[in-house]
Structure 1
């Protein structure tokens, strides 16, 4: 299905994020497209959004594959140029908050975040965010990938259906990709600026929407699984768990594989990656 660039530009109010869109119907990965564009065009590519109707090798967190069927989702990667490599990790947080805001604004759904950057509807994953960065000739290149499930994909494995959802499955009308990308670019721009300045507001807004906090979780880390209660987030975005022995420990990376509410709270949170 063709992407209506004119409609997108009419709806977008950002001045840099997504001011230019590179759209293709089919690609391997928009993340790879963005990396190639940054290599060939340099600083002129900063802010550009690389969008595809379908990906054959879309990437998710932790080396997973992001299933990216035609017309089933919005698949985009933004090339961003943060002022320093130290600021690049905050772009993942900026992307998660902006994606949540954009989806809520256009769909009317109420969403929450799962640490570090998954967007959930009623405990099931609706959107994923992936951030990568590099230094190229003294310039910091950051690549922010966003995958939003618009429609259900009936041919997905049952185990994926159990943890994933879509805007359609959540009960909202299926959104036009142009409308959703315009809302995403508009929401992303101020969040990127906050990330560049290490704004406390960005971290506060992210923390306020994290459904992970206050729950008993099992965190899968590179060194093994850790159980504990998610009690806090550090200034650098690490998840703080209170372990069974009463001590606390901060984790910079990992997957929240289960999150069980305290007694009296709502249903358990599912976790995972829809692709």
Structure 2
């Protein structure tokens, strides 16, 4: 079972994860995070479960993780402006990638718009959801599923998924990995909140297919010809150059990169 006391001993953030909700079992950490209430701000709250029974991914896919082996958690943010959420998702993904690369000595890359791959297999998935009260943004919930110590994956995941343990043949402390990830996300969130231009450049360098000619799929239909993948801009839209050297931009709901 996840050792909450050990995690809190490792945690070195200023605000992220200091409000901590842990459950042995929970249908969805994102759903729980969206239901948090109270008079005080929930900015920086962490919701973690050892067994997520109804995890969700992008495009309504199911996220399955072996209980007690991985990290399934959600983070609550309350930014001042209701914009650039794709960039926030990628900033969190970059933070996870940096920690994984350092602690496991592997090379991970970001797959637009919300996955982290290692050796072309899925290591981590992210689902970002927003809550509004009328036109006012209440919170942004970023849910993450990171495969840590799981060794066997069932069905189609056997060929598509991996974990830190599978890549490195050793067991990892989930408590230490999570504490390190939160510290890095806190740093990346500050850069995102400050509209830091270098953050966009760092994200782009980590994206699979960046600077390459690729095929694009928009609303489940493949576009004709190839496009040079230019990464994301400061608003979080994907930008690409066609053969006529016209720059096009897409929201993450529209486009998928076939790198």
Q: TM-score by structure 2 length?
A: 0.89
Counterparts of 1:36-55 in structure 2 under 5 Å?
Answer: 36-37=35-36, 40-41=37-38, 43-55=40-52
Q: Using the alignment, how far apart are the partners of 2:116 and 2:154 within structure 1? A: 19
On the 8 A contact 2:94/2:203 being kept in 1, the answer is yes
- What residue is the counterpart of 2:229 in the other structure? 231
On the 8 A contact 2:85/2:236 being kept in 1, the answer is no
- What residue is the counterpart of 2:204 in the other structure? 207
On the 8 A contact 2:228/2:242 being kept in 1, the answer is no
Residue 119 of structure 1 and its aligned partner are, at CA, apart by 1.1
- What residue is the counterpart of 2:128 in the other structure? 131
Kindly indicate whether residue 115 of structure 2 is the aligned counterpart of residue 118 of structure 1: yes
Q: Using the alignment, how far apart are the partners of 2:222 and 2:149 within structure 1? A: 33
Of residues 71, 74, 77, the one that matches 1:77 is: 74
Q: Secondary structure at the match of 1:82?
A: coil
Residue 146 of structure 1 and its aligned partner are, at CA, apart by 1.0
Of residues 74, 85, 90, the one that matches 2:87 is: 90
Q: Using the alignment, how far apart are the partners of 1:98 and 1:79 within structure 2? A: 16
Q: Using the alignment, how far apart are the partners of 2:119 and 2:215 within structure 1? A: 19
Q: Secondary structure at the match of 2:249?
A: strand
Of residues 136, 139, 142, the one that matches 2:140 is: 142
Kindly indicate whether residue 172 of structure 2 is the aligned counterpart of residue 175 of structure 1: yes
Residue 173 of structure 1 and its aligned partner are, at CA, apart by 2.2
Q: Secondary structure at the match of 1:235?
A: coil
Deviation per residue, 1:90-128 (Å, 9 max, x gap): 321221111112222322222111222321112211111
Kindly indicate whether residue 109 of structure 2 is the aligned counterpart of residue 109 of structure 1: no
Deviation per residue, 1:25-71 (Å, 9 max, x gap): 1111000010111xx22543221110011111111112211112202
Q: Using the alignment, how far apart are the partners of 1:193 and 1:200 within structure 2? A: 12
Q: TM-score by structure 1 length?
A: 0.84
* Number of corresponding residues: 254
Q: Provide structure 2 residue ranges, at least 5 long, that are not aligned to the other structure.
A: none
Q: Using the alignment, how far apart are the partners of 2:62 and 2:34 within structure 1? A: 18
Q: Provide structure 1 residue ranges, at least 5 long, that are not aligned to the other structure.
A: 260-275
Change (3 A) 1:198 1:170: same
CA RMSD in angstroms comes to: 2.1
On the 8 A contact 1:131/1:143 being kept in 2, the answer is yes
Q: Using the alignment, how far apart are the partners of 1:250 and 1:150 within structure 2? A: 35
Q: Secondary structure at the match of 1:143?
A: strand
Q: Using the alignment, how far apart are the partners of 2:220 and 2:72 within structure 1? A: 31
Q: Using the alignment, how far apart are the partners of 1:169 and 1:123 within structure 2? A: 13
Residue 24 of structure 1 and its aligned partner are, at CA, apart by 0.5
Q: Using the alignment, how far apart are the partners of 2:85 and 2:206 within structure 1? A: 21
Q: Secondary structure at the match of 1:120?
A: strand
